Amino acid sequence: MPLSRVPQLAPSDIKLLRLFVKVVENGGFAGAQAELNVSASTISTQMSTLESRLGIRLCDRGRVGFKLTDKGRRIYMAALRLEEALDSIRADIGELRGKLVGELHVGVVDTTTSNQDCRLHEAIRLFTSRDHSVHINLHVAEPATIEKRLLEGRLQVGISAFYHHVPGLHYEHLFRERHMLYCGRRHRLFNRPEDAVSKADVLASDFVARGYMVHRQVSPMSGLKAAATAYDMEATLSLIRSGAFIGYLPCHYAEAWIEKGELKPLLPQEFAFYSDFEFAVRKGLADLRVLNAFLEDLRKAHGLVPALLEA
């Protein structure tokens, strides 16, 4: 398209670009339809309008499914940068008015609320006591998804046990979490005395692997016979309680089920391990006002030394 014919972005175009981002993030029209609560035909019409406005085909859709074109992928990344720029402008206006303004997206892995060492709730309390007009969005996801969304700019902060560090992200330690290996009360090892359970018994049992740790095994997991896979702790617990599998859970999460007589730890001296929880942020963010304020409160809540990130 000649330079003279490149369309100027109108407010309606920005709205359409936001819809496009939702379509991409949900893997197509069907997922976006559920999140946006609009019909697939409406989404299709709006996408066609956007493509017409830009003079670019953004995606292929049909029987083969939804797939971004190369140009569509570039427009998607540009739309994310546009949203960051708009957030930065809102933050600048807020700073001139003496308050924090914008959006804060925080990602965290599941089942952290019962961990007394996780003080995310306290960090949120400290942050919301500031003079602010920040909309907080809290997302629960597995570690690799959190890292991916940080790199894409869809999250500003991620909290998890990250089993390897991704280039482009900055990590800082928050706390540690102990994990033990458990069986359910219907499992053949549940009613055996502790001294009658051997390492060989454990290794012979079917094990629930963590889907996001397939290539990041910690040493106590090596040698265990993976026969099922789960991608969060609640799914892991359901498989363990079936009596067909053994699996790892955070100790704080398992405590209530032990008290109910539903779970039993297996050879904790042999199979327990610790996960180091960290927060992660993307390096080189354009605006750091809201993020630095939240990180200051996150560190304070966990008794860590305050520090500021550098752009």
Residue 33 falls in which region: left (phi positive, over 0), alpha (psi -120 to 50) or beta: alpha
- Please give the domain boundaries of the chain with CATH numbers for all domains: 3-78 (1.10.10.10), 176-275 (3.40.190.290)
Question: Could you tell me whether strands 206-210 and 246-250 are parallel, antiparallel, or unpaired per DSSP bridges?
Answer: parallel
311 residues of the chain, pLDDT tens digit each: 444 455 677 888 888 888 888 888 888 888 888 778 888 888 888 889 988 888 889 988 776 678 889 998 999 988 888 887 777 777 677 666 667 888 899 999 999 999 999 999 999 999 999 988 899 999 999 999 999 999 988 899 999 999 889 999 999 999 999 999 999 999 999 999 999 999 999 999 999 998 876 555 556 677 899 999 999 999 999 999 999 999 999 999 999 999 999 999 999 999 999 999 999 999 887 568 889 999 999 999 999 876 655 55
Q: What is the pTM of this model?
A: 0.71
CA 149 – CA 263 distance, rounded (Å)? 34
Residue with tokens 């892991």: 236
Is residue 112 within 8 Å of 160, Cβ to Cβ?
no
CA 91 – CA 207 distance, rounded (Å)? 49
| Closest CA relative to residue 171, chosen from 180, 163, 182 | 163
| Closest CA relative to residue 16, chosen from 44, 39, 47, 52 | 47
Give the number of residues written for the chain.
311
